[in-house]
């Protein structure tokens, strides 16, 4: 009888040990599955975030193409033959900053070639070659100053335009606004009326702001 009890006790101990082992293995497997599940969840969240970001960029692609087309159109309006004059790059940056600061959008800019400023005449006078009478050669030295006509097209509200004109009073370069032509933009339901404004301006360029074209400084054939 005592032997049978010993066998039952041993069998029960074995079963308990096996149960503990199975339970321990199950807990370990469950923990590993939980860790793997958490890792998969993080990967899923990361992929979802990447997908959302890619979708945002894809949806914004048409608008970016439109912005690029507008920038290219604005760049095509610039007279690239004037890049040799160091006055132009700083002027473009300064005038664009003034436009943005006053709520306007700079649509286009058309600078003409600089010409020497005749201090005895109005800088706004431009004579046509066919109409200009022959003048006797002047013994006066050439002026070190230049005048350049620059046409601007900006878009904004009437108040924005007034702010822009007021900002030109404190412009870091000498600018004279000759004419201002305003054309209202077709409304889109907005209570604020937008308008396109064309400005004819004249810039007085001092010697430090002017830089001759390399072609003018290049030595000619047969000369050194």
pLDDT at 183 over 80: yes
Is residue 175 within 8 A of residue 223, CB to CB? The reply is no
Greater pLDDT, 141 or 61? 61
Q: Is 202 helix (H, G, I), strand (E, B) or coil?
A: strand
Domain boundaries, the chain: 1-76, 82-215
If you average pLDDT over residues 186-198, what whole number do you get? Answer: 74
Query: How many residues appear in the chain?
Result: 224
DSSP 138-167: P-SPPPS-EEEEEEEEEEEEHHHHHHHHHH
Give Cβ neighbours of residue 149 (< 8 Å, ≥ 6 apart). Answer: 111, 112, 126, 200, 201, 202, 203
82-215: CATH class: alpha beta
Q: Which residue has the higher pLDDT, 187 or 44?
A: 44
191: its two tokens: 């209570």
Structure confidence at residue 129 (pLDDT): 41
What pLDDT band is residue 4 in, cutting at 50, 70 and 90? low
pLDDT in tens, 77-99: 554 444 445 777 788 889 999 99
Position 136 scores a pLDDT of: 47
* Percent of residues, the chain, with pLDDT higher than 70: 72
Sign of CA dihedral 166, 169, 172, 175: positive
Sign for the pseudo-dihedral over CA of 212, 216, 218, 219: negative
Q: What is the arithmetic mean of pLDDT over 50-71?
A: 80
Out of 16-30, 100-114, 148-162, 173-187, least confident range: 16-30
Reported as a single tens digit per residue, the pLDDT across 109-141 is 898 888 888 777 766 655 544 444 545 445 545
Nearest to 182 by CA among 167, 162, 202, 206: 162
Residue 172 has pLDDT above 60, yes or no: yes
At 30-40, the pLDDT tens digits run 888 878 888 88
CB 199 within 8 A of CB 177: yes
User: What pLDDT does 162 receive?
Assistant: 93
Q: Radius of gyration over alpha carbons of the chain, in Å?
A: 39
Residue 166 has pLDDT above 90, yes or no: yes
Q: Helices (DSSP H) in the chain: which residue ranges?
A: 2-76, 87-101, 158-168, 214-217
Evaluate if pTM is beyond 0.85.
no
pLDDT at 63: 80
């Amino acid at each position: 009888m005592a032997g049978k009890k010993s066998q039952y006790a041993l069998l029960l101990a074995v079963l308990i040990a096996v149960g503990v082992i199975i339970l321990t293995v199950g807990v370990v497997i469950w923990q590993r599955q939980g860790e793997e599940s958490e890792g998969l969840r993080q990967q899923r969240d990361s992929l979802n975030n990447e997908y959302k970001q890619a979708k945002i960029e894809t949806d914004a692609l048409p608008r970016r193409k439109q912005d690029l087309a507008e920038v290219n159109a604005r760049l095509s309006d610039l007279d690239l033959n004037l890049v040799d004059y160091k006055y132009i790059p700083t002027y473009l940056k300064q005038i664009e900053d003034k436009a943005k600061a006053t709520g306007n959008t700079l649509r286009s800019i058309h600078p003409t070639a600089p010409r020497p400023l005749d201090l005895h005449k109005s800088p706004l006078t431009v004579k046509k070659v066919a109409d200009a009478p022959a003048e006797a050669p002047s013994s006066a030295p050439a002026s070190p100053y230049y005048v350049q006509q620059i046409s601007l097209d900006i878009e904004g509200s009437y108040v924005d335009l007034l702010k822009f004109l007021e900002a030109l009073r404190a412009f870091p370069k000498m600018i004279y606004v000759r004419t201002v032509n305003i054309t209202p933009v077709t409304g889109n339901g907005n209570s604020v009326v937008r308008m396109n404004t064309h400005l004819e301006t004249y810039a007085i360029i001092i010697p430090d702001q002017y830089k001759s074209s390399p072609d003018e400084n290049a030595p000619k054939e047969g000369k050194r």
